[in-house]
Amino acid sequence: MDEILLRFPIEGKTLSAEPIDGGHINRSFLVTTDAVRRYVLQRVNPFVFRDAAAIMENIRLIRDFLSDGPEQPPMVAFLDTTDGRAYAEDAEGAAWRLCPYVENSLSLLRPESPADFAESARAFGRFLHALRDFPPARLTETIPRFHDTPDRFRQLREAAEADPCGRKREVAALLDFAFAREERAARLQRARESGEVPLRVTHNDTKMSNVLLDASTRRAICVIDLDTVMPGLSAYDYGDAIRAGASTGAEDGDASELDLKYYEAFTRAFLEACPDLTERERELLPLGAWTMTLECGVRFLTDYLSGDHYFSVSRKKQNLDRAGAQFSLAADMERKREQMLAIVKTRI
């Protein structure tokens, strides 16, 4: 790591680099120096992101676009290396990048109040809205078919058939749960293909922890983790945020339910920040929440069956628990469907 840090124009001498927990894919470190500034150093997971150059180029394009626009939602800026590159490569070919640490900020795994959650809705909503005129086709799909739910089901089916770790029997009930919903889960993808809702530039990983809050005011500072900013649907960003933030339990915890207070707080703030969603987009938001929840469970379950190579785990059955928690949340959304629809339809 020291050798990597030497390739960036850091102020002062490095004193320490402490791991920052939270993400399931990349590895992040808080770098402290003997100067005033602190930094975040991040290793991009090359197994998940095959083309680091494309990610950094996407981020640059968005940054340039936003800094010219009227709304200018703030973004974290990565530093070029001393030889002018967007990242440094290690001996294994993995990309490392560096940005200033935003002092006095918080990244919450889960919102601590509906007000926190509404702040994340404002941040993700503003981001979506500010990029409404950015042509999605200019971005590289850093992970192709990322929110293509039918394709996620295909991968689950393949993993269950191959069953390389002999875990299929143990997860039979979860597999039944998922496959019983496969048809409905494909509706969002159909809406994308038929063009009934517009393709936008979306963040695609809108969990609460991907918004920085000001630790004193608890207002959103900016959204972070722009690696999966790609063409997508508004329902992805809305839906993934609800999945992660409006549940009563942890992502890898016991059965979760949908907390309607959080759901409503997020929905109001999101709709306010994105005033130009079409009627059809608005109608599809509850389906988006359910689909993103189920899809995430399908991805965790696929990874459990495949031997936990994608999402990092700190204990053996963590991906299994994550899948179970997503499915219980999706089941609760089925019970609360009418209430969800009513909240989305309410005009302020």
Residues that bind ligand GN1 (CB under 6 A): 23-25, 48, 205, 207, 225, 228, 240, 251, 296
Q: Using CB distances below 5 to 8 A depending on partner kind, what does residue 296 bind out of Mg ion, ligand GN1, none?
A: ligand GN1
User: Judged by CB under 5 A, does residue 116 bind Mg ion?
Assistant: no
Select from ligand GN1, Mg ion, none the partner in contact with residue 251, using the beta carbon and a kind-dependent cut-off of 5 to 8 Å. Answer: ligand GN1
- How do beta strands 95-100 and 211-214 pair? unpaired
What does 7 interact with, of Mg ion, ligand GN1, none (CB < 5 to 8 A by kind)?
none
Tokens of 231: 């063409």
User: Parallel, antiparallel, or unpaired: how do β-strands 200-202 and 14-20 relate?
Assistant: unpaired
- Cα(222)–Cα(105) distance, rounded to whole angstroms? 10
Helix locations, 205-274, DSSP H = 234-245, 260-273
Minimal distance, residue 225 CB to ligand GN1, in Å: 5
Binder among 116, 205, 251, 252 for Mg ion (CB under 5 A): 205
Q: Is 237 one of the binding residues for Mg ion (CB under 5 A)?
A: no
- For residues 73 and 146, give the distance between their C-alpha atoms in angstroms, rounded to a whole number: 25
Spatial separation of the C-alpha atoms in residues 125 and 143, rounded to whole Å:
22
Nearest to Mg ion of 45, 282 (CB atom): 45
Instruction: Determine if 225 is a binding residue for Mg ion (CB under 5 A).
Output: yes
DSSP string, 170-196: GGHHHHHHHHTTHHHHTHHHHHHHHTS
Closer residue to Mg ion in complex, CB, 116/225: 225
The nearest distance, CB 303 to ligand GN1, in angstroms, is 10
Cβ at position 274, least distance to ligand GN1 in Å = 20
Nearest-approach distance from CB 314 to Mg ion, in angstroms: 17
Kindly state the smallest distance separating residue 35's Cβ from ligand GN1, in Å: 29
Residue 251 binds Mg ion (CB under 5 A): no
Would you state the structure tokens that stand for residue 310, as one six-digit string? Answer: 């994608």
b (16+ CB within 10 A) / e for 307-331: ebebbebeeeebbbbbbbbbbbbbb
Q: Which is nearer to Mg ion, 119 or 205 (CB)?
A: 205
> Distance between CA 9 and CA 247 in Å, rounded?
42
Asked if 136 contacts 199 with a C-beta cutoff of 8 angstroms, the reply is yes
Check the CA dihedral 82-84-87-91 and report its sign. Answer: negative
Measured from the CB atom, the residue of 46 and 69 that comes closer to ligand GN1 is: 46
- Segment lying near Mg ion (by CB under 5 A), choices 69-77, 120-128, 202-210, 254-262: 202-210
Among residues 10 and 45, whose Cβ is nearest to Mg ion? 45
With CB under 5 A as the contact rule, which of the stretches 34-42, 95-103, 219-227, 244-252 interacts with Mg ion?
219-227
CA distances from 117 to 99, 114, 185, 242, 244 (A): 25, 5, 26, 9, 10
**DSSP structure class, residue 80:** P
Helix (H) or strand (E) holding 29: strand 27-33
Q: Which is nearer to ligand GN1, 208 or 273 (CB)?
A: 208
Cβ-proximal residue to ligand GN1, closest one: 25
Contact of residue 24 among ligand GN1, Mg ion, none (CB under 5-8 Å per partner type): ligand GN1
Closest CA to 313 of 257, 232, 251, 269: 251
- The residue among 8 and 311 lying less far from ligand GN1, judged by its C-beta, is 311
Cβ 6 to Mg ion shortest distance, Å: 27
CB of 341 to ligand GN1, least distance (A): 24
Footprint on this chain of Mg ion (rule: CB under 5 A):
205, 225
